[in-house]
Amino acid sequence: MKFKAIKLKLKGPLTEIPHADTLFGAMATAVGVLYGKEAIDEFAERFQRGARISSAFPYEGEKLFLPKPLSAEYWLSTLPEEKIKGIPNFKRLKGAKYIPLGEFEKALRLEQFTYGELPFKRVELPKVALDRVTSSSALYFWEEIRFKPNTGIYFLYQGDGETLKGYILPALRYLADTGIGGKGTWGYGLFDIEVEDVEISVPGGEAFVTLSNTLPSEAPLLWRLFRKGGWSPWGRKPKLSFIEEGSIIGNDPGKIETLTVGGKGIYVYGLSFPLPAKLPEGLP
Amino acid sequence: MRLTVLSPLHIGDGSEITSVDIYPGDGMIFVLDTGKLTKDLLNLGIPLEEILTLLKNPPGHSYVFKGYIDSLNLNVKDYTLYTLPLIGEAGRESMRIKNFIKSNGKPYIPGSSIKGAIRTAVFYRVLKECGDTATVMDVLSNVARSANNEQRKNEQRKNIEKLKNSVGWNTHLVEYYLNYINSRLEEEKRFDKKRADDLLEAIVFGMEPDKDRGVRYEPKRDPMRALVVRDSEPIGKKHLAVYHVNIVGADVKIPTWVEALKPKTTVEFELAVDGETLRLNGNHFNGLLWECLKNYGEPSEVFEDFIWKAVDEFYGEVIKAELDEIHKHGPHRTSVSSFYKTLPEGRKLRLGWGSGWIATTLGILLRKEKKWESTRRKLGLGRKPGGRGVSRDFPKTRRVADGMPMGWVKIE
């Protein structure tokens, strides 16, 4: 399957690697700033009609990382003892969140795969808050994600060229200067953009692994849940239950949820980004 | 923007280099590679147990490795990670040096420090110009109105009304605030003095209804969100020196050393005002700052001008206050006075450790209130070490490095 990989070459740290709903929300706000509020509806409509974005994942040079499919994790847990002994660093492999693209293709087919060293690390930074009456200082620590040089994050896009050129890229050029994913006022999340073609070889099958955090419209097959809220320009968003990237779903497109916050309608992106995956034995 | 250091600037990361990590030389501090040194000492036949015993219980907190290097005639340069010039005296027996904040081993100035200094100035100007209780009551009424009629919020609305009425008994928000701190200190033994400004910050910058105090600070409703200040670029280590800081006015001599950026160091950093954030969130900001901006025109358009005027006004007042109390600099009063009198033109800020209470608080406004003296005693500001009463004169001490008051920078 062919996709566009949109690389965000980071200029500084990030607070978190953004999920698809964060990317969509940031781009929709940017579209509103660039073309007016009506354009946000048109932007969301294009996704309802078939355009898709994945969540962001790390990359290093040409090496792209993808989330480990839960089908492969389930498959690993069913392997017999003697096979496990033959797999080097089995525990680290089981705990890996992201794996390189080539290994991801093997994992989709439930073939033996391995992990790679990630190009980022979480660091703690000291910060000080001062009381404006007593001048008492309180030291606190802030966690951020720092990337190696020539690395960053990327997301996949599938859809028509018009949406990419007319909406996504202009929105990203705006976000490149204002930052994405929190603490923009500290200079976090600034980047340069690069677009590449990517091909992912996938097996045939009825089940799919989703590469975006998804709001499922039907029961998934293998999933991990997480609750996520956030903030819109009109107020705090209520928390919604998403399934994580790497979860296994049937033929479920997911959905874009419309919420009312502070009297204004907002879109929450929860569409799936499905890639066919082989199902391990023992699953329906 | 460009930041130029005018007087020694120390921004710490909370850690310290201790006597076991350094070798004090002549006008120089050698930071040691203790691993390599220990390995060589073992090869020279020094028992590991002896080294460990000395490290655990150094005799008189002395420089443990200096003893070995001197007695064995080793070349200190073979075991040096890096050196820093020492300005002032080294500790005779030992010294602890507060580390400058670094990223990948290189010092930098955190954007949060610069923004914090600007924020204090804005806090000051808003209270000074718009802190009359009539304006504050209007602001609180708007917050109460926006807490909609849901059953759950009725209680919160009542609390805001209660807060609004108690503000109304005073003439100025600062006056109300001192009464508020006094009553909280009397009512609650466990009042957190480190967070004494919480309610004031909420009213000035932006708030949400709260069941306890009426309102609480909400960062998303704070227009200062639109001020983007990024960390500076990394600074070369050659601009760093160890300063012996004199704490003037303290009853007990507290020997203090810090890693600080030397005067004339210049560094680039990014500062921007995000007009879109201000425009998009115009209806969402609800603090006294946003109300105050309306006096000058369209808030999103006058915001930048307002904060720069606040900076000029506040730090001008800080300089004036320091010169008024120049006698508190003791033997350094001549050099400090000439430092202030020869400050270059342009926009100045005071940052980091050693800036003092006046530059980091609303002290200039608080001190004008009658009730301040009793409040600060209750807050324990100016308490003498060892619990021997509270100083009559506050702030009593000043930190002086190389004859200069610490932390002044110029931005352009």
CA A128, distance to chain mean position in Å, is: 31
* B111/A186 touch (CB, cutoff 8 Å), yes or no: yes
Span B164-171, mean pLDDT?
94
Minimum Cα–Cα distance from A138: chain B residue:
B194
Contacts of A83 (CB under 8 A, 6+ apart): none
Q: Distance (Å, rounded) from C-alpha A123 to C-alpha A141?
A: 10
Q: If pLDDT is split at 50, 70 and 90, which confidence band does A280 have?
A: confident
- What is the C-alpha separation between B96 and B105, in angstroms, rounded? 19
Interface of A with B (CB under 8 A): 12, 29, 33, 126-128, 130-136, 138-139, 178, 184-187, 231, 233-236, 262
Strands B240-248 vs B80-87: parallel, antiparallel or unpaired = parallel
Chain B partners within 8 Å of A37 (Cβ): none
Separation between Cα atoms, residue A230 and residue A240, nearest integer Å: 10
pLDDT tens-digit readout, A26-59: 999 999 999 998 999 999 999 999 999 999 999 9
- CA distances (Å), B336 to each of A177, A221, B399, in order? 42, 72, 11
Nearest residue on chain B to A29, alpha-carbon basis: B280
What is the percent of chain A with per-residue pLDDT over 90, rounded to a whole number?
65
Q: ipTM value of the model?
A: 0.86
CA distance A234 to chain B (A): 7
Closest-CA residue of chain A to B394: A134
Distance CA B129, CA B136 (A): 12
| Spatial CA neighbour of B216 closest among B198, B233, B230 | B198
Condensed to tens digits (0 to 9), the pLDDT of residues B222-251 reads: 999 999 998 899 999 999 999 999 999 887
| C-alpha separations of B341 from A78, B256, B319 in Å | 77, 27, 9
Among the partner-chain residues A135, A178, A187, the one whose CB lies closest to the CB of B360 is: A135
CB contact (8 A) between residue B193 and residue A126: no
What does the pLDDT average to over A191-196?
Answer: 94
Task: Please give the pLDDT value at position B341.
Answer: 95
Please judge whether B196 and A134 are an interchain contact, meaning their C-beta atoms are less than 8 angstroms apart.
yes
Is the predicted pLDDT of residue B399 greater than 80, yes or no?
yes
Q: What gap in Å lies between CA B76 and CA B37, rounded to an integer?
A: 9
Tell me the DSSP string of A34-97. HH-THHHHHHHHHHHTT-EE---EEEETTEEEEEPPHHHHHHHHTS-HHHHHTSTTHHHHHH-S
DSSP reduced 3-state for A266 = strand
* pLDDT cut 70: percent of chain A above it: 100
pLDDT tens sequence across A64-112 = 999 999 999 888 888 888 888 888 888 888 889 999 999 999 999 988 8
Q: From CA A138, how far away is CA A84, in angstroms rounded? A: 49
- Cis peptide bond N-terminal to A119, omega within 30: no
Q: Which of residues 60-79 of B touch A (CB under 8 A)?
A: none
Tell me how far apart the alpha carbons of residues B288 and B126 are, in angstroms, rounded to a whole number.
Answer: 7
Radius of gyration of chain A (CA): 20
Contacting residues for B39 by C-beta, under 8 A, at least 6 apart: none
- Let me know: does B374 contact B182? Beta carbons within 8 Å: yes
CB burial class (10 A; 0-12, 13-18, 19+) of residue A177? exposed
Q: Which of B23, B67, B20 is nearest to B46 (CA)?
A: B67
Distance CA B201, CA B216 (A): 9
Residue A210 clears pLDDT 90, i.e. is over it: yes
Residue B94 CA to residue A238 CA, distance in Å, equals 56
Please state, for a pLDDT cut of 90, what percent of chain B lies above it. Answer: 73
Distances (CA, A) of A120 to A20, A153, B75, B250: 19, 10, 39, 47
Under the banding of pLDDT at 50, 70 and 90, the label for residue B87 is very high
Q: pLDDT tens digit string along B286-338?
A: 999 999 999 999 999 999 999 999 999 999 999 999 999 999 999 999 999 99
Which chain A residue is nearest to residue B232, measuring alpha carbons? Answer: A187
pLDDT at B298: 95
State the pairing for strand pair B207-210/B214-217. antiparallel
Q: How many helical (H) and strand (E) elements, i.e. helices and strands, does chain B have?
A: 15, 19
Q: Residue A234: its chain B contacts at CB < 8 A? A: 284
Say yes or no: B220 contacts chain A, CB-CB below 8 A: yes
User: What confidence tier does B210 reach under pLDDT thresholds 50, 70, 90?
Assistant: confident
- Structural tokens at position B108: 């930098």
pTM score, two decimals?
A: 0.86
The span from the CA of B363 to the CA of B372, in Å, is 10
Residues A34 and A171 sit within 8 Å (Cβ to Cβ): yes
pLDDT score, position B149: 54
* Type of residue at B266: T
Pairing of strands A120-130, A235-243: unpaired
Q: Which helix (H) or strand (E) holds A268?
A: strand A264-268
For residue B178, give the chain A residue with the closest CA: A133
